[in-house]
Structures are given as structure tokens and as C-alpha cells.
């Protein structure tokens, strides 16, 4: 196989990079990825897909809620079919736990919704620096931003008792 050396300007390399596939690989032989992307953060999902290929180790949920590891890297990210890709298996498991908690929370709320005017009892996770342990507790709050908030302290405590493992699995998503 014959090889040749070519020179690429940064602008040309950026255009090649955005085209994906082999063009992206050519651009990456001349420049580092951060040089090609620059400090430009995506402003839309479509831009994110254009800038980020599917990476080895990323995981997604299949249509039966099974975890599937992305078996190959370097594929162009599809703006419709790749919306459920997560960076790794622990993140995928945390999101699956969050989806379960969402359904369970709605069941425990029994139609109740926080209105922002009165206090609610929310389940929060926090880090205890004394013993270095992540702890979970029910706490009265006046914010409707708590994902796991309930109409009464008793209901919140019951939820916490029954689903503590799932709450810990969801981790920092709540």
C-alpha cells in the first residue's frame, strides 16, 4: 500500500472531522480532537450527535429494558436511535433504577402533586464527611424540585424503607 503525506489546515480538518467515518480519522491524524471541536459545546442534540461518535463501552437499553453494551466504537451517532446511550454500565443501571422509582413514586403519591406553596417531605441523599458514607433520609422542604417528594412524612418513610436499594442504585440522579 502506498502512503503519502498531506497537509491539512485546521479549518479543512474540522470539516473532515464533522463528516465522520474515515474523514474523521484523517482529521484526527493531523489534530487532536479538542483542537477540532474547540471550546464549542453543542447547542442542540443534532450538534451533539455530529460531534460525538458512539464510543466503546457506552451502554443503552434495548426495547425489553435489557442493558446492551455498545459493541463497537467509532460509529456515527444517530440523532434518533442513539438518544438512550449512556457512558457506561453503572450509568445505564442508575437510569433504569430512576425510571422504576418514577413509576413507584407516582403510585405512592396516589395522584398527589406538590404545589410549591406548602411543605413536602422529600427523600434526599447526602454525603456525611465524618464517616465518609452516603446517607439517605426524609427531610421536610418547601421546594417542588425534589424528585422523590411525598405528601406526608409517613408516606416518604415507607417509600424509603421499601425502595432504599433502588434509591441508592439511582445515586446522584436523584
DSSP state of 74: -
Which DSSP string do the residues of 13-58 spell out, in sequence order? HHHHHHH-HHHHHHHHHHS-HHHHHTT---SSHHHHHHH--B-TT-
98 — pLDDT class (breaks 50, 70, 90): very high
Would you say 159 and 105 are in contact if contact means Cβ atoms under 8 Å apart? yes
Q: How far, in Å, CA of 60 to CA of 77, rounded? A: 13
The backbone torsions φ and ψ at residue 87, rounded to the nearest 5 degrees and listed phi first, read: -65, -25
**What's the confidence (pLDDT) of residue 46?**
79
Q: What is the pLDDT of the chain when averaged over all its residues?
A: 79
Task: Please give the share of the chain, as a percent, with pLDDT higher than 70.
Answer: 79
- 10-19 vs 21-30: helix axis angle to the nearest 10? 150
**What's the confidence (pLDDT) of residue 29?**
87
pLDDT tens digits, 21-64: 888 888 888 888 878 876 666 767 777 778 778 778 787 777 77
pLDDT tens digits, 141-158: 765 557 888 888 888 888
Would you say 114 and 121 are in contact if contact means Cβ atoms under 8 Å apart? no
pLDDT tens digits, 72-93: 666 778 888 788 888 888 898 8
Ordered by start, the domain boundaries in the chain are: 1-40, 93-173
Mean pLDDT of 91-97: 90
Is the overall model pTM greater than 0.95, yes or no?
no
How distant, in Å, are the alpha carbons of 23, 38, 173 from that of 90?
32, 29, 12
Amino acid at each position: 500500500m502506498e502512503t503519502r503525506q498531506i497537509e491539512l489546515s485546521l479549518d479543512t480538518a474540522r470539516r473532515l472531522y464533522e463528516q465522520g467515518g474515515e474523514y474523521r480519522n484523517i482529521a484526527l491524524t493531523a489534530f487532536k480532537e479538542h483542537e477540532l471541536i474547540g471550546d464549542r459545546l453543542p447547542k442542540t442534540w443534532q450538534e451533539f450527535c455530529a460531534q460525538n461518535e458512539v464510543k466503546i463501552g457506552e451502554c443503552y437499553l434495548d426495547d425489553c429494558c435489557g442493558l446492551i453494551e455498545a459493541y463497537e466504537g467509532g460509529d456515527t451517532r444517530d440523532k434518533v436511535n442513539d438518544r438512550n446511550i449512556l457512558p457506561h454500565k453503572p450509568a445505564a443501571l442508575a437510569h433504569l433504577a430512576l425510571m422504576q422509582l418514577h413509576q413507584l413514586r407516582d403510585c405512592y403519591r396516589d395522584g398527589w402533586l406538590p404545589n410549591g406553596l406548602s411543605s413536602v417531605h422529600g427523600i434526599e441523599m447526602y454525603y456525611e464527611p465524618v464517616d465518609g458514607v452516603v446517607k439517605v433520609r426524609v427531610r421536610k422542604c418547601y421546594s417542588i424540585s425534589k424528585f422523590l417528594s411525598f405528601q406526608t412524612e409517613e408516606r416518604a418513610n415507607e417509600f424509603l424503607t421499601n425502595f432504599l436499594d433502588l434509591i441508592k442504585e439511582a445515586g446522584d440522579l436523584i
